Amino acid sequence: MAWLQQQFHWVIDLLSAVATRLFELPMSFLLVGVLAAGAAVMLALRRVSGRARRLLAGDRLGWASGLYGLLCVLIVFDYRTRMLEHEVRGLERRLAADAGRASGAPSLGSTSTRAELGPRVRSVLSGAEVSVARQSPGVDYAVITTEQPTALVVHLAIVDLTEAGIRIELSSDLSTKTRLSDFCRKRHCVVGLNGEAGQDPTQAGRLGQWVGNLVVRGKPVLLKDDDQRPFLTFGKDNRARYVPAAVVDRRVTPEIYNAIWGRWDLIVGGAVSVSNTNPSSQRPRPRCAMGLDADGRTLYLVTVDGYQRGYSEGTTLPELGALLKSIGVVDAMACDEGGSAAMYLGARGGLVSRPPPDSSSGGNERITYTHFGISSGGT
């Protein structure tokens, strides 16, 4: 059953990726395709025999065919318009990141990892461009982009958990799905990351096997950790700890003041650790992850855009693990991915990541059961 659920989720994202490729074709190709499909339907209707043929004959057949063709053309124009809107959003984001770099905004802290963020990233992504801008005391936001050999856009938030005023924000209502942006606006988050959407991206999709530990300010919301799901914990002082999937721990202690589960181990003890049971691990796709440095004082939140040729193809899990390891991440977990992967930035008042234009929610952010955010007394 679990295998079938994984395959179902994969098929949804695969269809999304295929549709994206089709709608990226030149408009002339798409219109020719619509006309060809219309002609095929007309030929099929003319072959209908008996009473059905008489009903569809003459003017009725012409009107029906014309309406069908018009509908197809409108669908094509609608999707292409949405894709254009996404391109404009992406350009605005890049301009904003360039403005932050040009302004000389200081990077968070003075550790070598942050000071050498660009060189470290380029050690695994040759030719990558990296821009970093301060969002609030304790929170930096970086955009990592590449064009060759494949297009890639990575959104990275670096959080100094020792900074005064930093506060962990977690959703605690598992009875319904909501949008990350709504959650973050309500909690005044500087940055936010999607949580778990469950078995499928619809409102009715249940959590199913995608469960683990969720603790919000000392109160357990869900304690279903097993040997499949990793999770992150945060003490009252925000010191963080990573619990890998193989370790089963359902306790609530003073050191586990906040906790949220992920889907799979990504980095454990400094080594990239990707499960072979994850059917999508070796395919480039949108990704989402949370990681820590060696002492649990720096938190890394990352979202990778994907399924968008010429803009961002996405990454495999081993590639994402290698990227995070290069910048100093020692432990990390991969979270819900595909069209659910999203990052919110308070300074922008919405998502900085870009969902696939043809995802199940029409190119907008998907609804999820859980959300993770960082608020700051300095905002």
Judge contact between 242 and 288, C-beta under 8 A. Answer: no
Which two tokens mark 59?
């003017």
How many beta carbons lie within 10 A of that of residue 136, not counting itself? 22
pLDDT value of position 260:
98
What is the model's pLDDT at position 363? Answer: 73
Give the Cβ contact number of residue 273 at 10 Å. Answer: 20
Quote the Cα angle for 94-88-351, to 5°. 65
- With H, G, I as helix, E, B as strand and everything else as coil, classify residue 81: helix
- For residue 185, count other CB atoms closer than 10 A to its CB: 15
Give the pLDDT of residue 10: 57
pLDDT in tens, the chain (379 residues): 555 655 565 566 666 655 555 555 566 666 667 667 766 766 665 665 555 555 555 555 566 666 666 666 666 666 666 666 555 555 544 554 454 444 333 333 434 456 689 999 999 999 999 999 999 999 999 999 999 888 999 999 999 999 999 999 999 999 999 999 999 999 999 999 999 999 988 888 999 999 999 999 999 999 999 999 999 999 999 999 999 999 999 999 989 999 999 999 999 999 999 987 777 888 999 999 999 999 999 999 999 999 988 899 999 999 999 999 999 999 999 999 999 999 999 998 899 999 887 656 567 889 999 999 999 875 4
Write phi, then psi, for 215 (nearest 5 degrees): -125, 130
Taking CA atoms, 321 is separated from 111, 266, 343, 371, in Å, by 21, 6, 18, 22
In angstroms, rounded to a whole number, what is the distance separating the alpha carbons of residues 262 and 131? 28
Structure token pair of residue 9: 């989720």
Strands 287-292 and 191-194: unpaired
Q: Where exactly are the structural domains of the chain?
A: 85-375
